[in-house]
Amino acid sequence: MTDAPILIERRDAVEIVSLNRPQALNTFDEALTFALRDYFAGLTERTDVRVVLLRAEGRTFCAGLDLAGWENDGSRGELQHWWRLQRAIGGVIELMRACPQPIIGLGHGAACGAGFSLLLASDVRFGTPDLRMNAAYIKVGLGGCDLGCSYFLPRLVGASVASEYMLTGRFMDADKALACGLLSRIVPAQDLLATGLELAAEMLANAPMGLRLTKDALNRNLDARSLSDAMAVEDRQQVMMLMSEDFSEGVAAFREKRPPEYRDR
């Protein structure tokens, strides 16, 4: 274990990114924020990494913001100081959605505020039985809408459930999250990483470009104005893939009853 704010482990085409401030409940200080921002920004051109697992060291996923880790040294006004903090963490969320790799979030313990948003911004979420999540912002005198929460949560669980939790700041437990579709599965803590890796392996069995384009289309069509707009995105992507060598390989493998050997071409 090192004192780096995040740990990165490579397993073939999968990278496991671990929040590594267990002594501070993996709260967001400057070092953690900018490490995550730089990592997700760098994924855009890294076609060698095809799936990302996001997890945390210690007894909890992320307890939110570490105010002591964002001290104003006097070089900025108060407005500029808080704006820098807000946009830095918000930028992490935006970069998670923009990167072409599917992100599998593995939550345990508490995921509060910014930690909740990290899981919401993931493409798939698994959680342990003790996972508890909340939009903590409203509990400290702020609004309940922050860091993409008001964008993601209503789309994932519906407006009524989202409003209930964002207007109160109450905790959503793992059972409730599973029931309303926020979690794909609840798994024992000892099986959490293995479950994420199993799903990643299934994703890796598909054509690399197809995987990237699927995440892209899902993100775009969350905001599609109509069925026609959503299908226009799908049509263009499918025609693109029909022209790829990997499509020819996929068809050949299907006919020959063998696993495909994709080359991302």
Render pLDDT for 204-233 as a digit per residue (tens, 0 to 9).
999 999 999 999 999 999 998 998 988 998
The answer to whether residues 171 and 239 belong to one domain is no
The answer to whether residues 199 and 230 belong to one domain is no
Tokens of 256: 């020959």
Mean pLDDT to the nearest integer, 67-95 = 91
11-20 pLDDT per residue, tens: 999 999 999 9
The answer to whether residues 82 and 152 belong to one domain is yes
Domain that holds residue 238: 206-256
The answer to whether residues 158 and 221 belong to one domain is no
Q: What's the pLDDT at 1?
A: 58
Query: Would residue 194 count as lying in a domain?
Result: yes
The answer to whether residues 230 and 180 belong to one domain is no
Q: Pick from 203, 218, 247: which residue ends a domain?
A: 203
The answer to whether residues 24 and 60 belong to one domain is yes
The answer to whether residues 243 and 159 belong to one domain is no
CA dist 92 and 130 (Å) reads 25
The answer to whether residues 241 and 139 belong to one domain is no
Contact 182, 173 (CB under 8 A): no
The answer to whether residues 14 and 132 belong to one domain is yes
The answer to whether residues 67 and 113 belong to one domain is yes
Residues 6 or more apart whose CB falls under 8 angstroms from that of 97 comprise 121, 219
Query: Would residue 265 count as lying in a domain?
Result: no
Residues 6 or more apart whose CB falls under 8 angstroms from that of 54 comprise 17, 19, 103, 104, 105, 106, 118, 122
CA dist 67 and 144 (Å) reads 18
CA dist 206 and 29 (Å) reads 37
The answer to whether residues 161 and 223 belong to one domain is no
236 or 184, greater pLDDT: 184
